[in-house]
C-alpha cells in the first residue's frame, strides 16, 4: 500500500472530497493542515503556489484538487466500473460543483448585507435548480433509493455529499432539501456509512 500525504488548510473547502475518498476507502494518510500564519512561508514551495497537494510515497507533489480527487477515486475503485459509469459520475460531479462560485462569494462577502443577499440567492434560486438536477439523476438509478451509479457508493456520492454539507450548513437541511426527498435520503445514507460516520465524528470542526 502506498503512503499518502495530503496537505491543505484546516478547512473543508477544496480538500474535503479527497479526505472523504480516503475515509470511504479506509486508507490511512497523513492529513497535514496548514495554518494561515504558516502559509506565506510554505506557499513558494508548493506547485503553482496552491493547496491542496498530494504526495504519494514521498514522490513529486501533485497539485489541483480535481486532479487529486480523480487520481484517488481511480486508485480506490470509486470511479465507476466502465466508461459510461465514469462519465455519469463526471456529470453528477460537475453539476454539484456549480455551487462552488457561490461559496467562494459567501466566503469573501465583505458585509452582512452582501452575505444575506447571497444566502437568499442560494436558498431561492441556485439550490432548487441544482438539487433538482441532482435528484433527477439520482432517481435514474434504483429509483433514488441507493447511489448515483451502480450498487455501491462512488466518487459522485462523495462530491455531492460534500456540497450538500455546505448548503445545509448555510441554509439548513429543512430549507435546502425539503422538496428533494430522494436527495435528502441520500445525504443521510452517505453520512451513516461506517467509515464516513467515523470521519465526520473525528475531523476538526470548520465552517466550510
pLDDT at 208 over 90: no
Asked if residue 57 and residue 154 are part of one domain, the reply reads: no
CB 145 within 8 A of CB 136: no
Contact residues for 113 (Cβ-Cβ < 8 A; gap 6+): none
* CATH number of the domain that residue 48 is part of: 3.40.30.10
Per-residue model confidence (pLDDT) at position 99: 97
The Cα–Cα gap between 163 and 165 comes to: 5
* Statement: residue 207 has pLDDT above 90: no
The reply to whether 199 falls in a domain is no
Out of 78, 108, 130, a domain closes at 78
90 plus 181 within the same structural domain: yes
| Domain residue limits at 120 | 83-192
For position 1, what pLDDT does the model report?
A: 82
Residue 173 has pLDDT above 90, yes or no: yes
Cα→Cα distances 123→4, 43, 112, 126, 168, Å = 38, 35, 16, 7, 10
Both 34 and 107 in one domain: the answer is no
Q: Are residues 100 and 24 in the same domain?
A: no
**CATH code, 141:** 1.20.1050.10
Same domain, 74 and 168: no
Same-domain check for residues 17 and 103: no
What is the average pLDDT score of the chain? 96
> CA angle 28-33-36, nearest 5°?
170
Residue 112 to residues 105, 109, 118, 119, 170, Cα–Cα distance (Å): 12, 8, 10, 10, 14
Q: What is the pLDDT of residue 101?
A: 95
Tell me whether residue 205 is in a domain.
no
Q: Which long-range contacts (CB under 8 A, 24 or more apart) does 103-111 make?
A: 103/166, 103/208, 106/170, 107/208
Q: What's the number of domains the chain is made of?
A: 2
pLDDT of residue 98: 97
Same domain, 109 and 182: yes
Amino acid at each position: 500500500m502506498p503512503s499518502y500525504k495530503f496537505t491543505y488548510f484546516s478547512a473543508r473547502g477544496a480538500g474535503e472530497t479527497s479526505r472523504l475518498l480516503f475515509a470511504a476507502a479506509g486508507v490511512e494518510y497523513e492529513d497535514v493542515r496548514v495554518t494561515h500564519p504558516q502559509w506565506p512561508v510554505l506557499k513558494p514551495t508548493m506547485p503553482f503556489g496552491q493547496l491542496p497537494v498530494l504526495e504519494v510515497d514521498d514522490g513529486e507533489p501533485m497539485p489541483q484538487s480535481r486532479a487529486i480527487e480523480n487520481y484517488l477515486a481511480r486508485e480506490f475503485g470509486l470511479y465507476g466500473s466502465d466508461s459510461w459509469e465514469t462519465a455519469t459520475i463526471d456529470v453528477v460531479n460537475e453539476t454539484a460543483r456549480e455551487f462552488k462560485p457561490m461559496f467562494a462569494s459567501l466566503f469573501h462577502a465583505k458585509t452582512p448585507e452582501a452575505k444575506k443577499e447571497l444566502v437568499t440567492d442560494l436558498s431561492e434560486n441556485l439550490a432548487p435548480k441544482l438539487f433538482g438536477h441532482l435528484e433527477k439523476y439520482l432517481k435514474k438509478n434504483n429509483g433514488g433509493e441507493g447511489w448515483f451509479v451502480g450498487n455501491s457508493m462512488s466518487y459522485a456520492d462523495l462530491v455531492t455529499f460534500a456540497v450538500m454539507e455546505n448548503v445545509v450548513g448555510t441554509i439548513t437541511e429543512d430549507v435546502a432539501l425539503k422538496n428533494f426527498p430522494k436527495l435528502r435520503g441520500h445525504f443521510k445514507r452517505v453520512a451513516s456509512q461506517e467509515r464516513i460516520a467515523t470521519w465526520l465524528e473525528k475531523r476538526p470542526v470548520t465552517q466550510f
